[in-house]
Each structure stands twice: as C-alpha cells, then as structure tokens.
Amino acid sequence: MKKVSCEIEGGQAIQVNASRLVIAGWAGRDAAEVEHHIRELEAIGVRRPSSAPCFYELAPALLTTSDSIEVIGGHSSGEVEVVLIQTQEDGLLVGIGSDHTDRKVEGYDVVVSKQMCAKPLGKTLWCYADVVAHWDALIARSWRIDANGERIRYQEGTLARLIHPEPLISRAFGATSMIPGTVLFCGTQPVLGALTPASAYELELHDPVLGRSLRHRYNVDALAHTE
C-alpha cells in the first residue's frame, strides 16, 4: 500500500491509501482517435493492442506527488491523465496525473515500460459528484518544457474524447464501483506532434463550468545510462 497526502479542493487534508493502481490504455470513445494513438506508438515500435481499452496493473508505490521524478536515460515521456481515486470516507475523487512511460522499453513490453517510471499525481482533488454532470466539458491539457525552458503545448482535449468513468470502471473491474484504495488512470489525449521527452511537464484539468483547474508540474531527472 502507498500512502499519499492530498487535499480535497477547499483545504480538507486527506490521506489516500492506495492499494491498487490500474492504468487504462487506448481508452478513447472515437475509434479513429484510438487508431491515431495506436499509430503514434507503433511509430516508436510499440505493438498494437489485441483489444481496446486495455488495463495495466502496476505497483501503487509508483504514485508520487513530488515535483520531480528520476528516470533512466532520455527516452521517457509523460501523458496527462484524469485519475479516479476511490476512498472509504470521501467517496470517489478526481485528480490529475501523468502516465510517465519509458518509450524504449515500451517497444518490447508495455507493462514493464510503465512499471519503470513513477506516476506523478497532483495533490489537489475534486469530488466526482461535483463534476459528473458536466464531465464531458472538462479539458485535459499538458505542456512539455524543454531544457532551454521553452514551454510547448503538448496535449489538449475534452474528456468527451475518452470513455466515461462509469463504463470504464465497469470494463476494468466488472463492477459499477471500485473498491476503496483503487486508483485508476483513465487514458490520455493524443499528442500535438510527436511523442517527445522533456525536462519537465505541466498538467492541467480545467473545469469551464465551475471555473477552476487542477494543476501539477514535475521535473524529469534523467539518470545517466551507459550500455
């Protein structure tokens, strides 16, 4: 189990006791966009999935709210994702995170590539009940920050492009709700351009209806790797 200190927007401090971490892959609603993402990954050597969506079980210890992560070499990259967190006391919560992945390893083993990298998670969370009525209007964005400090838009799209949480949960767990302690990364938006490593990433989940955003930035410390 991984214990992560967070807060529900407004200041209520909570401790997330994560006992299960699941990453949804190829979770788009539109078949053409799913195919686009599959081809993005095929371009770097990743085999296409046998079905979509698919789900990867990872170690909860990978979750981190730190503002930096360490990776091996310079061939990993982040992906903005909405994160669902089922708690015992506060119900279903919504956060923003990054499925940071080693793209070199992904070419021969997707699960291992994801397990190799920490999974950044923003500290501030929303109650799912407060956003479910306008879920599709929420906007997920990311920026990559190059070594020279240039900030470049990397991803952007509404959650209408991804499978809604309720059918996604049903497909992942065969139930209408998740067991407390479960953390589910809900899929990502296509990148604007090519999958690109960066020295840092910024993540945002914007709610245009309630006029608020969840944000998180993390640096990527690439450790030297020699063959």
Quote the DSSP letter at residue 90: S
Of the candidates 56, 18, 54, the residue with the CA atom closest to the CA atom of residue 183: 18
Could you check whether the bond before residue 53 is cis, i.e. omega within 30 degrees of 0? yes
The whole-model pTM stands at 0.94
- Kindly list the averaged pLDDT for each block of 10 residues, start to end, along the chain of length 227: 96 96 92 77 77 92 98 95 97 98 89 96 98 98 95 97 97 96 96 92 98 98 77
Per-residue pLDDT, 44: 73
Structural domains of the chain in order of their starting residue, each with its CATH number = 2-223 (3.90.850.10)
For residues 114, 118, 119, 124, the Cα torsion angle rounded to the nearest 10 degrees is: 180
Per-residue pLDDT, 49: 77
Per-residue pLDDT, 216: 98
Per-residue pLDDT, 89: 94
